[in-house]
Structure 1
Amino acid sequence: MSIKQLSEIIGVSSSLLSQIERGLANPSLNTLRAISDALNVPIFSLFMTEDNEIGAVEVVKKIDRINIKDGDTEEKNVELRYDLLTPDLKGAIQLCEMILAPGEINSTSLNRHNAEEVAVCTIGEITLILNDKSILLEKGDSVRIEKNTGHRWKNNTKDFTGIIFAISPPIF
């Protein structure tokens, strides 16, 4: 499939797809989902790299993290950042960091995925909206969210907040 054909299917410009392919632009989660759907591949496969040596150790420097989402969403201008902390998505677990601006939520609807998630609040405090229940997590608090449980994150404070979360199996 050509970039032009893919761009027409998912509704983004071929220029944007070319920039994403060359590592010059970071796609939104919605764009990544559209690409994976159009190519009929799991979204995590878009992050895969060539196999590494068995038993090899990979260090991910902060400057080299894969940024999954930063800045504007298709819904509104949101100060939201997701960074992949694991080198890729080949393993059985994915580790990410989410930074959320004051007053922001990470999604306008509840997220559900076929993966277990464990999160720890690392900056400030954050509210976990779990179906119809709100749970306040303060710095150092952690939570496990079972697969297919509706959830989203909200920053009710006047400062940036952050969590580090692990997802197994990888979903991004």
Structure 2
Amino acid sequence: MNLNEIIAENLKRLRTERNLSLGRLAELSGVSKVMLSQIERGESNPTINTLWKIATGLQVSYTRLIDRQTDAPLVVRQEESALIDNKDGYLVYHYSGRTEGEKRSFEFFNSVLAGGKEFTSEGHGANTHEYLLVTAGEMVLEYQGEEYVLQKGDYIHFDCSCPHTYRNKREETTEFTNLVYYV
């Protein structure tokens, strides 16, 4: 099952469990009814920001939309990780599988940002924190009007419910891992 099929299945299940129409979920999430319908049918490749909005509207963690439902231990190899965003020099891989019934309040990602590129997140919903570790290169995190320059091995923790931008001002690729925690 590919990621779009997993998202489609989970979105329909979560929306139905909450007795929400597509129209009502559109109001709660800020994502259009047409887009929600396309995602539920597996006909759309939603962006990270779109998935965050839907998760916020459903009042669930982001992983409830992208994780396969299974009872077996889940090992995610690098080559099998879910590529959840791939646009304009920004790649995001998701490594946090979840088994049915598991209560987990975090998600684990590895990101690659090409030289001279940036990505802006609109924020990850209320009461979320991000723990970010640069594993290669250098990046600038722009957060609430401040710029934080982070080298390989540097770590930062911040309230990621606010918009923030990852920026690579260098030519070399930057890699970072981040854990998003739902308080």
Fold-level match, TM-score > 0.5? yes
Distance change in 2, residues 1:16/1:141 (3 Å): same
Q: Which residue in the other structure is 2:29 paired with? A: none
Q: Which residue in the other structure is 2:181 paired with? A: 168
Contact 1:98/1:163 (8 A) holds in 2: yes
- Quick one: percent identity of the two aligned structures? 19
Runs (5+) with no aligned partner, structure 1: 72-77
Contact 1:121/1:162 (8 A) holds in 2: yes
Of 61, 66, 71, which residue of structure 1 is paired with 2:82? 66
Q: TM-score, normalization: structure 2? A: 0.66
Deviates more, 1:58-67 or 1:145-154: 145-154
Contact 1:102/1:160 (8 A) holds in 2: yes
Contact 1:127/1:136 (8 A) holds in 2: yes
Runs (5+) with no aligned partner, structure 2: 1-11, 13-20, 27-31
Amino acid in structure 1 at the alignment position of 2:86: D
Contact 1:110/1:131 (8 A) holds in 2: no
2-side partners of 1:45 and 1:156: how far apart? 34
Q: Is 1:10 paired with 2:33? A: yes
Residues matched between the structures, number: 152
3-state DSSP of counterpart to 2:79: helix
1-side partners of 2:159 and 2:54: how far apart? 27
Q: Deviations over 1:87-131 (max 9, x none)?
A: 248523211011112222111x65354212111101210001121
Give the aligned CA root-mean-square deviation in angstroms.
3.2
1-side partners of 2:145 and 2:36: how far apart? 38
Amino acid in structure 2 at the alignment position of 1:47: I
Amino acid in structure 1 at the alignment position of 2:111: M
Distance change in 2, residues 1:148/1:41 (3 Å): closer
Q: How does 1:68-107 map to 2 (within 5 A)?
A: 68-71=84-87, 78-88=88-98, 90=102, 91-107=104-120
